[in-house]
Amino acid sequence: MKFAIVLPDGAADEPLAQLDGRTPLEAAGIPNMDWISMHGRLGRVVTVPAGFTPGTDVATLALLGYDPHKCYSGRAPIEAAARGLSAGPDEIIFRCNFVTIEDGLMKDFTADHIPQDEAERLIADLNEWFADDPCVFHSGVSYRNLMIADGASDMKLECAPPHDIPNQPAVDHLPRGNGQERVRAIMRRAAELLRDHEVNRVRREQGRPLVSDIWLWGQGRPVELEPFAKRFGLLGAVITGVDIIRGLAVMMGMKLIEVPGATGYLDTNYAGKGEAAVRALDDYDLVVVHIEAPDEAGHLGEAYEKIKALERIDELVVGPLLEALRKHDKWRILIAPDHPTPCTTTAHDATPPPFCLAGTSVDPVEKRSFSEKETVAGAWMVEPGHGLMILFLRS
């Protein structure tokens, strides 16, 4: 049996006036996803359990068959795994965003999608700036970086994801709890360096938004996950452009397949991901393809960009995979957004997103197109969310 999972990050949404009351999924031309939904099963899945902050980390962990209550310790340790980083017993790992705060408001959690060369230069200079402090900064992808703090065993903090506080007063969402003084001091000191940094001098001259601050969040310590192959008896491969999914793949012992031009943004190499996924079916039982673009469009509040991303995913990823799978005697495919990222709020949402699956021994039941409205009508709810993997693989 061959399996494929496509994860269109943040694809779920709300009805939008600009789309005549439709969601981007309803407005998009997605014939391949609709075929899967019409010829298989359609439903919703609780990817974010009560008490968890909605995000790709928790939601994807659940979609891949792991209980967040038992396996989740924070976003940053997962991304650290993608970079080959870990933490000692007295250390804690933070996600470190480069952000733009203007007039006290969180204007851009990506610092205008800071180019990699600028980000790496700032990370290097931050390490020099903090040479006397027991913390180390590590480059990631664009605005998505990491910081590891030593002497932090007693830290117990609540930290807000910057993408969940768009245009809100940053001061209202600063880290809170045991250790907040130290973490806030690091953020203030970093802002001092950034204020007159050459990167920002050039940005001013070019009329670009400034990289005003770092934002520390997603903190935690590494946990060990049971290998996916041992848990489900399948050899799996993962294709993605972002470290959070890379990290999960590493922690689960799945093969990472890198695709040139996989940016984790709207301009990602959709065709390259689809082609790599089809090739991977020859060597692996299960192929997982993650595409960040719909989530980025949601954060931008750009409904039409989300529609474009969904249509590219359908044409260049789902279509080729579906065609390749159907040449095998036994196969299944699952389309599963991790969470909604509504264009109205531009923030993640814990509302259970839709999913659809089809293939061998999956009898059509709902026979509806793939959208949020149709899944509500279909009324198949999978809870807890980590149970969906078993239903997909073995039902």
**Ordered domains of the chain (ranges, CATH):** 2-72+224-394 (3.40.720.10), 92-220 (no CATH)
Q: pLDDT above 90 covers what percent of the chain? A: 95
Helix (H) or strand (E) holding 6, with range, is strand 2-8
Q: What is the pLDDT of residue 335?
A: 98
| pLDDT tens digits, one per residue of 151-198 | 998 999 999 999 999 999 999 999 999 999 999 999 999 999 999 999
Each residue of 269-306: b (16+ CB within 10 Å) or e? Answer: bbebbbebbbebbeebbbbbbbbbbbbbbbbbebbebb
Assign 394 a pLDDT band (cuts: 50, 70, 90). Answer: confident
**Region 324-344 average pLDDT:** 98
Q: What is the pLDDT of residue 160?
A: 96
Please, are residues 150 and 186 in contact by the beta-carbon 8 Å criterion? no
Q: Which sign does the torsion angle of CA 12, 18, 21, 27 carry?
A: negative
Name the nearest CA neighbour of 348 among 13, 99, 108: 13
Supply angle C-alpha 217, 221, 223, rounded to 5. 130
pLDDT score of 142 more than 80: yes
Q: What's the mean pLDDT when you consider all of the chain?
A: 96
pLDDT score of 41 more than 70: yes
How far from 223 is each of 60, 72, 77, 93, 192, CA to CA, in Å? 16, 7, 8, 12, 34
pLDDT score of 145 more than 70: yes
Spatial distance between the Cα atoms of 317 and 322, rounded to a whole number of angstroms: 9
Q: Which sign does the torsion angle of CA 254, 259, 261, 265 carry?
A: negative
Q: What is the pLDDT of residue 242?
A: 93
Name the nearest CA neighbour of 217 among 69, 57, 13: 57
Q: What is the pLDDT of residue 395?
A: 61
With 0-12 / 13-18 / 19 or more C-beta atoms within 10 angstroms meaning exposed / middle / buried, residue 339 is buried
Please, are residues 291 and 313 in contact by the beta-carbon 8 Å criterion? yes
Q: What is the pLDDT of residue 377?
A: 77
Spatial distance between the Cα atoms of 355 and 332, rounded to a whole number of angstroms: 13
**Region 36-60 average pLDDT:** 96
Please, are residues 292 and 268 in contact by the beta-carbon 8 Å criterion? yes
41 beta partners: 357
Helix (H) or strand (E) holding 27, with range, is helix 24-27
Q: What is the pLDDT of residue 378?
A: 72
